[in-house]
Amino acid sequence: MSGPLSGITVLDISSVVAGPLATMYLADQGANVIKVEPPSGDINRRSRQKVSENGQFSALFISTNHGKRSIALDLKNPEAMAAFRQLLLKADVLVQNFRPGATEKLGIGWEDVHKINPRTIYVSISGVGDSGPYVRKRIYDPMIQALSGMADIQSDQNTRRPQMIRTILADKTTSIFTAQAITAALFAREKTGVGQHIKLSLLGTMLSFLWPEAMMQYTVVGRERTAAATNVGPDLVFETRDGFMTVGTISDAEWQGFCDAVERPELKQDERFATAELRNLNSTERINIMAAILREGDRNEWLRRLDLGDVPCAPVLRRDEIIENEQVVAMNLVQTLEQPFVGEVRQPAPAALFNDTPSTIGGPAPGIGEHTREILSEAGLSASKIEELIASGAARTS
């Protein structure tokens, strides 16, 4: 056994980010993840930042599909679908993010798959679920940031203009929720012996993700108008003479430590900042005062003083600084591997560390249909049948 999910087979027929990233996490944890893609390849292979000489790899594809094997099947072809159903006989998990109703038309909806293999855990990822007035909308990450309140949370403090987070936060958050739900369903199957249907939506995931602090104002029914808003103050990025940094002063001890570090003891007696609740209510004034103080000094000196006072702080790193950051290097958080047709690539180390069943990057991202023959053979198809599928275009091998 190499990873905690060793022995688990996952069929990934999803595309873009949320589904593929979720199954990549499972691959890092030892699962046998089979990427089932059309003969033209996952659309993500052709996304921005193409990096390979053969045109099959983008940086985003590599970072959402490493450690998997690829089989290329035209699931609209009856012969290819028959082969896919053979794969289902040994599948522990199937992950799909087709539009609602699409898999049913193909004959591989939840009910169909449950009849073929009652032990299979079936995962459906959608933008806004499978009912309601928005169900037919085309949904991408910005639509979810708009609908979930994420853009409102990021509103400009002066103009109140909503702003987007400049990363696909909804997709990536959903991938984490998906991976967790799959492992929970696998645990449940150990007790029941049967699989179940898991449904996740990007919208539902983001509401769940944001709620604990971003929706505090709306938690107690009837008190929405009197509760403090959660995004009333400026952000916690502070400019110094030679760079940017951040500081956290939630507890009384942290606030007092900040005041001592910047040699402003009178702020400890300021009634506006006497408690955590008051510091939150008066966050704009407090943060503006902190910004004015920190602007007058050098970043490393402030960080040194704040560390001595046990006040949470860190430099705000530019992306080109992250790889060489001393803490990132010490934890070996960025690793390298050889990607065929690309060269040496960087990937983040698996986030969860298991002492008995270590997780690991299981290898590079696969080419389109790189493992088609191998996977079909494992499913029990004869060599002649496999070649027939490839010759007809129902399957593809690289």
At a CB cut-off of 8 Å and minimum separation 6, what does 39 contact?
A: 72, 73, 74, 368, 369, 393, 395, 396
Q: Which two tokens stand for residue 108?
A: 């591989």
Q: Read out DSSP for 130-185?
A: SSSTTTTS---HHHHHHHHSHHHHT--TTT------SS-HHHHHHHHHHHHHHHHH
Model pTM score:
0.93
Predicted local confidence at residue 226, as pLDDT: 62
Predicted local confidence at residue 231, as pLDDT: 66
Can you give the C-alpha Rg of the chain in angstroms?
25
Instruction: Classify residue 115 by burial, with Cβ atoms within 10 Å: 0-12, 13-18, 19+.
Output: exposed
Q: Which two tokens stand for residue 135?
A: 């169900």
CA 338, CA 359: separation in Å to the nearest integer? 18
DSSP label of 233: S
Q: In order of start, what are the domains of the chain with their CATH numbers?
A: 9-209+331-396 (3.40.50.10540), 238-315 (3.30.1540.10)
58, β-bridge pairs: 50
CA 88, CA 82: separation in Å to the nearest integer? 10
Only one residue has tokens 């040496």, namely 344
Predicted local confidence at residue 103, as pLDDT: 96
Identify the active-site residue in 28, 152, 171, 242: 171
307 catalytic? Reply is no
- Helix 169-192 vs helix 141-148: angle between axes, to the nearest 10 degrees? 90
Per-residue pLDDT of the chain (398 residues; tens, 9 = 90+): 589 999 999 999 999 999 999 999 999 999 999 999 999 999 999 887 788 878 899 999 999 999 999 999 999 999 999 999 999 999 999 999 999 899 999 999 999 999 999 999 999 999 999 999 999 888 999 999 999 999 999 988 788 899 999 999 999 999 999 999 999 999 999 999 999 999 999 999 999 999 998 888 888 898 886 655 666 678 899 999 999 999 999 999 999 999 999 999 999 999 999 999 999 889 899 999 999 999 999 999 999 999 999 999 999 999 999 999 999 999 999 999 999 999 999 999 999 999 999 999 999 999 999 999 999 999 999 999 999 999 999 999 98
Predicted local confidence at residue 381, as pLDDT: 96
Predicted local confidence at residue 177, as pLDDT: 98
334-339 and 343-348 as β-strands: parallel, antiparallel, unpaired? antiparallel
N residues, the chain = 398
CA 204, CA 173: separation in Å to the nearest integer? 11
Q: Which two tokens stand for residue 381?
A: 């198809």
Q: Are residues 342 and 51 in contact, defined by beta-carbon separation less than 8 angstroms?
A: yes
Predicted local confidence at residue 223, as pLDDT: 85
